[in-house]
Amino acid sequence: MAKCDYCEIAKKKIKAEVVYEDDKVIAVVKDLATALGQICVLPKEHYTILELVPNEVVDHLFRIVNKLSMAIFESLGVQGTNIIVNNGTAAGQEVPHFCVEIIPRKEGDGLNFEWKPKQLMEEEMDTAFLMLKEEGDKIIITKEEKKEKVFHDEKTEMIVEKEGEENYLLKQLRRLP
């Protein structure tokens, strides 16, 4: 296997500004970034694309992505984030190691992530739907996967605002479009 820069970062062989780390994932600030404060969150184990990442790692990684996105809102005062997965070379993946990019956004920042939709033929859409539906019907979710993992965070359970202090949950609700 060729040397993977992201594996080297996870093993601390390449210097990176680490903003979060645990036994499964590491999150680093990108030095070549689309926007100030862009974070790359990646599993410590080498997986080239999303489909190869075990479910428990995906679950954990996206929980961390969610919390880091909130941290970006709080610390940098941004109005939004783009959560991007470039999955495969055709999708723009440059490093053969799965990762999730969190890109801080501000109104009028000049970044344009809009795609122009193209009009598809009805027959093409119907064929694609049938093919996707057939594959979707093959997906089996086990009983363990169906169990909802519930965790409680005492800091976020209270919705009542303390005098002079803005409640985190209420602040999050105000951010919703």
The CA-CA-CA angle for residues 103, 106, 108, to 5°, reads 120
In the predicted model, is pLDDT for residue 155 greater than 90?
no
Q: Under a CB-based contact definition with an 8 Å cutoff, are residues 38 and 29 in contact? A: yes
pLDDT digits (tens, 9 = 90+) for 47-85: 999 999 999 999 999 999 999 999 999 999 999 999 999
CA distance 31 to 5: 13
Q: Under a CB-based contact definition with an 8 Å cutoff, are residues 83 and 65 in contact? A: yes
CA distance 121 to 153: 49
The CATH number of residue 98's host domain is: 3.30.428.10
Q: pLDDT class for 160, splitting at 50, 70, 90?
A: very low
Name the more confident of 142 and 112.
112
Q: Under a CB-based contact definition with an 8 Å cutoff, are residues 131 and 123 in contact? A: no
For the residues 156-173, what does the mean pLDDT come to?
A: 50
In the predicted model, is pLDDT for residue 42 greater than 90?
yes
Identify which of 66-70, 109-113, 156-160 has the greatest average pLDDT: 66-70
N-term to C-term CA, the chain: 45
Identify which of 23-37, 74-88, 145-159 has the greatest average pLDDT: 74-88
pLDDT digits (tens, 9 = 90+) for 137-153: 998 876 666 665 545 45
Q: Under a CB-based contact definition with an 8 Å cutoff, are residues 41 and 24 in contact? A: no
How much is the pLDDT for 164? Answer: 54
How much is the pLDDT for 139? Answer: 87
Q: Provide the number of structural domains found in the chain.
A: 1
For the residues 118-143, what does the mean pLDDT come to?
A: 88
Percent of the chain with pLDDT over 90: 65
Name the more confident of 166 and 98.
98
State how far the alpha carbon of 153 is from the alpha carbons of 92, 115, 158, 165, in Å: 37, 38, 10, 18
Question: Containing domain of residue 34, as a range?
Answer: 5-175
Q: Record the tokens describing residue 39, joined without a space.
A: 């974070």
Q: At which residue do the structure tokens 């499964």 appear?
A: 24
CA distance 75 to 174: 17
